[in-house]
Copies of this chain bind each other. A is one copy, B any other.
Amino acid sequence: MARYQVGIRTETKIIEATRQLLAEGGLDAATLKAICDRAGVQAGSFYNIFPSKEQAIMQVARDAIQVVDPDPEHAGTDTLDDLVDAYIRFVIDQSDLARIYLQLAVSGSSDDSVARRFLRHHVRRVERFAAAMLRADGALADDEATTKAEVLLGALDGLAFRWVLDRTFDFAKHARIAASHYG
């Protein structure tokens, strides 16, 4: 039998509640009770849809990472500045999600699928950065570009981490300085 509409609506409410709680207070805030309370649902309904709390959180993480994926539409035409600006905008606009990424990636002990997903995303971004560097400097070797891209993205990630811990930190300024060493 196909699923009933009301069940699908409940699933949506649970996912949305989970997403909000993760953004507001991190992994610790997303308890089963908190999720059910915010979704306006009882525990029994939750487990009628999800086999475990972890599965719901994984689904939120999957969806969020999907949204953040580099836009394939602009592939091959971005400059390094474009990419850095996009990164800065993402970190500032989606700072709550950035913290969840860090938490999930670093605390993923039982299930490291999130860490792997995060890594794939990172590698893809390194490739785009390296490609932009190669377009700007034809004399650059492939592996040199990849190494430079790793260092630059490391700096951006580290500065973003710094900013998550202290919102008074001027992330955009430092990020642009980090990028300027390759201009």
Contact = CB atoms under 8 A, between A and B. Distances in A.
Interface in A84-133: 99, 102-103, 105-107, 109-110, 115, 118-119, 122
Number of copies: 2
A102 B106 contact: yes
Interface in A26-70: 26-29
Given A25-B110, A28-B107, A159 B150 contact: yes
B166 A119 contact: yes
Nearest to A163: B154
Given A155-B182, A158-B156, A158-B158, A29 B164 contact: no
Interface of A is mostly: helix
Nearest to A25: B109
Given A155-B182, A156-B158, A181-B182, A27 B165 contact: no
A17 interface: no
A151 B177 contact: yes
Nearest to A150: B174
Nearest to A27: B107
12 contacts: A25-B109, A27-B109, A99-B109, A106-B106, A119-B166, A122-B165, A147-B174, A148-B177, A151-B155, A157-B161, A157-B162, A178-B182
Interface of A: 25-29, 99, 102-103, 105-107, 109-110, 115, 118-119, 122, 147-148, 150-151, 153-162, 164-166, 169, 173-174, 177-178, 181-182
